[in-house]
Structure formats: C-alpha cells, structure tokens
Amino acid sequence: MMRQYELVERVQKYDPTADEALLNRAYVYAMRAHGNQKRASGAPYFSHPLEVAAILTDLKLDDATIVTALLHDVIEDTDATRAEIDQLFGPEIGALVDGLTKIKRLDLVSKKAEQAENFRKLLIAISSDIRVLLVKLADRLHNMRTLEHMKPESRKRVSEETLEIYAPLAGRMGMQALRDELEEHAFRWLNPEAYQTVTEKLHELRERNEGLVEEIEAALHKMLDDVGMKVEVSGREKKPYSVWSKMANKQISMEQLSDIYAFRVIVDTIDDCYRVLGVAHQTWRTVPGRFKDYISTPKQNNYQSIHTTVVGPRHQRVELQIRTRDMHSVAEYGVAAHALYKDARKVNGNGANGGSANGALSKSLVFTDKESGPYQWLRRLVETLLEGSNPEEFLEHTKLELFQDQVFCFTPKGRLIALPRGATPLDFAYAVHTDVGNAAVSAYVNGRHVPIDTRLRNGDEVEIKTSKTHTPPAAWESLVVTGRARSAIRRAARDAIRRQYAELGRRLLMSAFERIGESYSDERVKKVLPRLAHKSLDDLLAAVARNEVATEDVLRAVAPELAATARQAQQRVDEPSKAKGWLRLTRAATNKLRLGGASSSESDPPAARVRGIPIRGVKNDMPVLFEAGGAVPGDRIVGVLAPGEGIRVFQIHSPRLQEFEHERWIDVAWDVDPENPERFPALISVTAPNRPGTLAEIANVIGQSGGNIDNLKMLRRASDFTELRIGLEVWDLAHLNQIINGLKAKAVVSKVERVFE
Ligand code: MN
C-alpha cells in the first residue's frame, strides 16, 4: 500500500504548490474512517481509495481531486457525513465527494442497451463537475483491475455496466487509453474464450509486424511533406475488444479484418482531406470497396471523415481516416466537444485577466504528454483557458452543463425517462404512456406525495397514481412542458366534451321516447342515421344536445306513426300548470341523496312521471353548468338547454330562470353518487357590522361546518354595515342550511340569506 508521504510526493512532483496538509489530513481521515473494512480480496479497504488517488496522480490532477479520490467512498460506506467533510475539507471537496456518493447510489446496472446513452447523460448531469467523473472513472478502473476477487455473477454485472456506461463515457471524454483498459477488463470477464483467441492472434500479428506502425507513420509524413503538407498522423493497433466487436458486428473472421492497423491523418481544411486522399491513393494500392466519404455524407451522429484502406509498405492492409481538426474533436468527444469547446471559446472571448496563473489547478492540468496523448482535450481546454482569460474561471467552465436542458427520472421499476427541464410529474406520466397521462390523478416523487405540477429533478423516482374514471381537465395543459403531454391533454378534453354531448343527447332522446311510451335504444337510432344526415351515432346525439336536431325529428325518423303522439305529449308537458309538477326530484334520485329532511314529500312524483336527465355533479358525464347562485342536492332544479354550452342548471327560485321561456326548460333530477360525494356551489349573503374580527368569525363558522369558501365579495351598503356575498361549496341542502343557521347564531351577524344574484 502506498505510504502517506509517497502520495504527497507524487502530487508535489507535478504540482509543487499542492496543499500538503490537506492531502495528509485526507489520507489519515479516510484510513481511519474505513478502519478494519476489507475488500473482497482481503486487502484493507483503504487500499482502494488510495489506488484510485494514485491513478489520478498519473493524470496529474489537482489536490482537490486527489483528496476527493481518497474520500470517495466514506459517506456511503462509513459513518462520515457530508457536513463533516465540508467542515474538515471545505465545501468544494464536500460537493465533489457528494457527487460521487450520488452516483454510487444510482443503480445503473443491467439497463437495456438503448438506455445506456441516457444513463451516461444522467451521470454527467449529476456530476456537474468534471472532476467527479474523473474520480468515478478511476474508481471504476481500479474495481475492474481487481475484479477477479468478486463472485462470477458480480463480475458479469459490473463488466456489462462498464462496457455499456463507463467505457463509452471515457471515450466521450477523450480518454482513449482509459477506455481501452476498461474495455479490455470487461471483455476478459464477459467472454474469456474470445478474449484469449483475439489477444493471441493480435500478439502473433504484432510479432510478425514489428515496427510497422512507426514505418507507416514515417511513410505518411514523408509523402505528405513532399507535397508541402503539414499534417498530424497517429497510428495504433486495434485493441482486442474493438477487434472483437468489429468481428461480431460484421460476422467476419480475424483474417478478414483489414483494419487492425488504423491511422488518422488530421489536417486543417476539408480541401486538405481530399489532397491527402489523392496522395495516399497515388502512392499505395487501394483496396476496392473500402472507400467511404463521410465528409460529403456525414453519419447520423454527425461523424465526418474520409475512410479508405490501402495496401501499405509491408503488404499489410492499413485503414486511413482523414479528417479536419474540428471533425476529429467531434469524433473523439461527441457531444462534449461542442459544449466544452463552445465554453472555451466563450471564456477566451472575455479576454480579461490574462495570464494570472492560478497555482495548483492550472499547472496540474497542463499535461506534458506527447501531442497525441489521451488527455489532449483536457489539455487543450486548459491551454485555451490559460491563453487569454482568467484561469480561476476554469472550474466554472469545466462544469458540465451539457445536459442542463434535460432531467432524468425513473419509474418505480427503474425505467429511465428523459424529460426537458421544467417537466412535471404530468409530463412524466405522458412520457411513460398516453394512457397513464390521461388517467393520472396524483404523483409521488421519491415516495412523497407532491402536487402534480412539481418540477422534477435529476434522479427523481416518480410514481403516478391513476384512476380509470379520470379525464384530464383542459386547464392541465398549462401544467406541462412537453408537446406530447400538451396535445394529449387537448385531445382528451375534446373527447370528453364530445362524450358529454353525446350522453346529453342520448338522455334527451330517452326522455322523449319514454314520454310516448317507447323505449330508446342506440340501435334503433343508428338505423335511421342516413335519414337524419349524420354519419355516426355520437355525431347525431351531440347534435341533439346542441339543439341542432329536434328530438321530435329523431322520433319521426325512428317511428313515423308515433310522431303525432310525440307532438301531443310535448304540448301537454309544456302547459305551465303541468310544468310545475315535473320540476322535482324523482324518487329514485332522492333515495340516492344523503339528505336528512331535504326531500319534501309534498312533491313526490307520481309513478308514471318521466324521469329527468340525471345531474351527477359539477364534473358530470354531460356538459353541466351551474348558474349564478348555484344549486345543491335537495334543491328543486330546472335545466335549460343552452346551445354550445350544455345544460344550465337553475335552482327553481333563481330569478334568472324566468328569463327563459318554458319551452326551453328541461326535466332534470339529482343523481348524486353517495360513494363519490362532490361539493356544489351555493351563494349566501351575510350582513354584519364593520368591526375587526367579524370576517374571521364568519369564516370560522363556515370552516368548522366543513364548508369551502370559493369566493367572497364585500358590498358596502351602509357606513357601519357590510354585506358579504360568499360563494360556498357544500355537499347538499342540509349542509348549506347548517352553515346558514350557524351564522345566524353568531352575535356579529345581523342577517344571513341564500341568494341567487
Ligand atoms: Mn470506490
């Protein structure tokens, strides 16, 4: 195990300004925190964070990163807390360690391959500081190096995760060497036989082709020098895993693999790419069918390059990839290239504070590797930063804000859902499935019940509760940010209205049919659709509800001989003397109400009476509007058919009702479901003297009786008295009366009455 002073020396070797005391403190703290813990190999646990730190010293990283490496497992695996880390090592290191703890808690295992990309994005989003990812990759590398001590099933799981998530991430970050090593370990454990075969074969080839890479590099340089071109050339032998995956993907044998040697030629301009191609093809014989121009036709992921295969100096097939510097960074760093370089340019543009070197960090990240070193992108980033800007901004600008426009959340079963920032559980529900969105009634985030318009955060686990009978209200459109959710809500609201109108039309027809002793059925009406010039039953029913088609016309179409009877029946009903009689609760409806004495026996309907259109509640299966002043179960009510609006429901005493001719009145009846009670609107007027505390006392009475105040207006009628108009929501008439009586009993209230405006 590396000794304390050895670690400090290693860091000081590349960064003399590193904080020695800090490193020592972290070493001792981590060693004590892990105490007697052992690794699977039997080695002391502390050897692991120490090795991770050592890997990072090879990358010449700053002291904060090394300290983070030492501490990276203490929060999750020991008694240590974030607060303690903050206190002892400062909030910067605290945040870095916290990032690693968060990653560790993520279960990235055995997710489907198509989700791997999302998981990489999630890792990056959660990390927020590039050093968290660097420590994580070093952590993974050390775990892969020591994988032999794990149980076989863990080996497989960890190796799969490494291949799917971490190796591509390392590649994306431009850390090709790290990627190669991760892939090599994973390949070895996942497919030992293939690994052995490929490795042996590569070894054989290497011996046979000793010095070939250097030879080809030199040849390329020379022939391009001869035509006056300065280029960068890098050649490498393919690694076992990439050779293997190419063989597996293309179903070819090792012998057929022409591109075990691949060379990159990097030039300044697109024009140069074609010039290099011309020179290469002139010098070496080309292999037919291997030329691909991804410059004029980029791949879907924006990859651009010219690929060709030639027969090289030793009659060995050699693949050449020719590209510009920009194309190269996109190929190597993918999304990161855009974001990082964009950031770097932005910083550069600021131009302020040039050159004031910020000790540890800037120096530590200036790599001395050859130009083609694997951490080139980091070095280039640092160089760009050092050139014309304030190096202190380094941290800020290396923070990975690549995926700031996205959040990644999980279903309870672990499925990952990517959403735009600002998304709510409702967006999440629609992203899972439109049916889930349409039925969503409430949401739990990380086990906690939250409003359905809560903004989701990275890593949230979201559970959606659904109800089959639920329809998303049109207003929910404003609670979502995804187009998918928005259009689904719009569609659902439209469908609901269509259904409501069809149901209303059906009810109107049922009443009309019953009135002449006929029984209504959808089938009977469907048969006459062509005669009524409607394509579907729902269309026709909705037209009836909107008063565009008279019920009488439908009757006439279904049973012409009965149409005359229908007309007479209609006239009888419309006689004012009779009209009074049918404005009442039907017995059936009354029985459903939970009312005390609200249903008056004086108006019990005769048995032959036609049942009215059922009014279930505010959220009806039909379009129902409660008129000003409202109406509550127990009230006698009248409906008025309002074209385009549905049924307007009036309390029988509402003065507004008198504005409509009796012909337009329709028979309605309460049909409240006692299982799902709903509140109904009612308006009261309360007159009270202007004294402090009056309003509170009134509200208190209403609240204690279980009423809701929906609206409150003050009408100052006299200087010392105020009339309050209070919009209430109550269960029924008995409930409303209880509130009114409760208010009357208060000394501060001088007058209470129900009003209809
Ligand atoms: Mn670890």
Active-site residue list: 76-77
Residue range 747-754: mean pLDDT, rounded: 89
Highest mean pLDDT among 87-91, 518-522, 747-751: 87-91
Q: What is the pLDDT of residue 577?
A: 38
Please state the pTM of the whole predicted model.
0.47
User: How many whole angstroms from 723 Cα to the centroid of ligand 1?
Assistant: 71
Pairwise CA distance, residues 554 & 504, whole Å: 15
The H helix count followed by the E strand count for the chain is 32, 21
Which position has the token pair 């002449």? 516
Higher pLDDT, 235 or 489: 489
Residue range 212-219: mean pLDDT, rounded: 87
Q: What is the pLDDT of residue 580?
A: 36
What SS3 state is found at 445? strand
Q: Is the pLDDT of residue 466 over 80?
A: yes
Which position has the token pair 């019920």? 551
User: How many whole angstroms from 664 Cα to the centroid of ligand 1?
Assistant: 77
Q: What CA–CA distances, in Å, run from 668 to 100, 497, 629?
A: 65, 19, 18
Half-sphere CA count of 123, side-chain side, radius 13 A = 29
Q: Is the pLDDT of residue 603 over 80?
A: no
- How many CB atoms sit inside 10 A of residue 647's CB? 26
User: How many whole angstroms from 145 Cα to the centroid of ligand 1?
Assistant: 12
Nearest to 25 by CA among 98, 74, 79: 74
User: How many whole angstroms from 2 Cα to the centroid of ligand 1?
Assistant: 17
CA 721, 725, 730, 735: dihedral to nearest 10 degrees? 30
Nearest to 137 by CA among 149, 127, 148: 127
The model's confidence at residue 562, banded by pLDDT at 50, 70 and 90, is: low
**Least confident interval from 341-355, 441-455, 629-643, 645-659:** 341-355
Q: What is the pLDDT of residue 331?
A: 67
User: How many whole angstroms from 74 Cα to the centroid of ligand 1?
Assistant: 9
User: How many whole angstroms from 104 Cα to the centroid of ligand 1?
Assistant: 8
**Least confident interval from 75-89, 184-198, 331-345:** 331-345
Pairwise CA distance, residues 82 & 504, whole Å: 62
Higher pLDDT, 446 or 455: 455
Q: Is the pLDDT of residue 384 over 80?
A: no
User: How many whole angstroms from 38 Cα to the centroid of ligand 1?
Assistant: 13
User: How many whole angstroms from 564 Cα to the centroid of ligand 1?
Assistant: 89
User: How many whole angstroms from 542 Cα to the centroid of ligand 1?
Assistant: 66
User: How many whole angstroms from 134 Cα to the centroid of ligand 1?
Assistant: 12
Burial 144-165 (b: 16+ CB within 10 A, else e): bebbeebeeeebbebbbbbbbb
User: How many whole angstroms from 264 Cα to the centroid of ligand 1?
Assistant: 35
Q: What is the pLDDT of residue 608?
A: 35
- 651, 597 contact by CB (below 8 A): no
Q: What is the pLDDT of residue 374?
A: 33
User: How many whole angstroms from 274 Cα to the centroid of ligand 1?
Assistant: 47
**Least confident interval from 376-380, 472-476, 613-617:** 376-380
User: How many whole angstroms from 445 Cα to the centroid of ligand 1?
Assistant: 28
- 18, 63 contact by CB (below 8 A): yes
Pairwise CA distance, residues 128 & 122, whole Å: 10
Q: What is the pLDDT of residue 153?
A: 87
Q: What is the pLDDT of residue 350?
A: 34
> Starting from the edge strand earliest in sequence, which strands make up the sheet with 624-626, in order?
624-626, 646-651, 637-642, 665-666
User: How many whole angstroms from 73 Cα to the centroid of ligand 1?
Assistant: 5
Long-range contacts made by residues 79-85, C-beta under 8 angstroms, separation at least 24?
79/33, 80/29, 80/33
The model's confidence at residue 508, banded by pLDDT at 50, 70 and 90, is: confident
Q: Is the pLDDT of residue 215 over 60?
A: yes
- pLDDT tens by residue, 254-303: 666 655 678 899 999 888 888 888 888 888 888 877 788 888 877 655 67
Q: 222 CB contacts (<8 Å, ≥6 apart)?
A: none
Q: Would you call 194 exposed, middle or buried from its count of C-beta atoms within 10 A (0-12, 13-18, 19+)?
A: middle
The rounded mean pLDDT for the chain is: 76
Pairwise CA distance, residues 58 & 21, whole Å: 21
- pLDDT tens by residue, 716-737: 767 788 888 888 989 899 999 9
Please report, in angstroms and rounded to a whole number, the separation of the first and last CA atoms in the chain: 87
User: How many whole angstroms from 711 Cα to the centroid of ligand 1?
Assistant: 59
Highest mean pLDDT among 365-374, 408-417, 706-715: 706-715
- 688, 654 contact by CB (below 8 A): no
Pairwise CA distance, residues 194 & 199, whole Å: 8
Question: Can you say how many angstroms the Cα of residue 449 is from the centroid of all Cα atoms in its chain?
Answer: 17
Q: Is the pLDDT of residue 113 over 60?
A: no
Pairwise CA distance, residues 313 & 276, whole Å: 17
Q: Is the pLDDT of residue 444 over 70?
A: yes
Q: What is the pLDDT of residue 293?
A: 84
- pLDDT tens by residue, 528-547: 888 888 888 988 998 888 77
User: How many whole angstroms from 34 Cα to the centroid of ligand 1?
Assistant: 12
Q: What is the pLDDT of residue 172?
A: 64
User: How many whole angstroms from 154 Cα to the centroid of ligand 1?
Assistant: 15
User: How many whole angstroms from 746 Cα to the centroid of ligand 1?
Assistant: 70
Q: What is the pLDDT of residue 605?
A: 37
- Going along 369-439, which residue ranges are E strands? 406-410, 416-420
Higher pLDDT, 324 or 516: 324
Pairwise CA distance, residues 184 & 170, whole Å: 13
Higher pLDDT, 385 or 18: 18
Q: Is the pLDDT of residue 96 over 50?
A: yes
Which contiguous run of DSSP H or E holds residue 694? helix 694-704
In order of start, what are the domains of the chain with their CATH numbers? 4-196 (1.10.3210.10), 210-337 (3.30.460.10), 404-470 (3.10.20.30), 479-564 (no CATH), 680-754 (3.30.70.260)
- 498, 656 contact by CB (below 8 A): no
Q: What is the pLDDT of residue 515?
A: 80
User: How many whole angstroms from 72 Cα to the centroid of ligand 1?
Assistant: 6
> For residue 630, is it left (φ>0), alpha (ψ between -120 and 50) or beta?
left
- How many CB atoms sit inside 10 A of residue 695's CB? 17
Residue range 320-345: mean pLDDT, rounded: 59
Q: What is the pLDDT of residue 661?
A: 80
Pairwise CA distance, residues 76 & 103, whole Å: 11
User: How many whole angstroms from 443 Cα to the centroid of ligand 1?
Assistant: 34
The model's confidence at residue 207, banded by pLDDT at 50, 70 and 90, is: confident
Q: What is the pLDDT of residue 361?
A: 29
Half-sphere CA count of 328, side-chain side, radius 13 A = 20
Return the structure tokens found at 41. 């190999």
- 73, 48 contact by CB (below 8 A): yes
Residue range 416-431: mean pLDDT, rounded: 88
User: How many whole angstroms from 103 Cα to the centroid of ligand 1?
Assistant: 11
Residue range 122-133: mean pLDDT, rounded: 69
The model's confidence at residue 49, banded by pLDDT at 50, 70 and 90, is: very high
SS3 content of the chain, % helix, strand, coil (to 5): 50, 15, 30
Q: What is the pLDDT of residue 403?
A: 42
Which position has the token pair 């998303």? 472
**Least confident interval from 313-322, 615-624, 642-651, 745-754:** 615-624
- 11, 34 contact by CB (below 8 A): no
The model's confidence at residue 31, banded by pLDDT at 50, 70 and 90, is: very high
Return the structure tokens found at 747. 């000394």
**Least confident interval from 98-102, 163-167, 582-586:** 582-586
DSSP letters spanning 649-688? EEETT-GGGGGS-GGGEE-EEE---TTS---EEEEEEEEE
Which position has the token pair 């850390």? 175
Beta-sheet pairing, 624-626 with 646-651 = parallel
Q: What is the pLDDT of residue 609?
A: 41
Residue range 621-641: mean pLDDT, rounded: 83
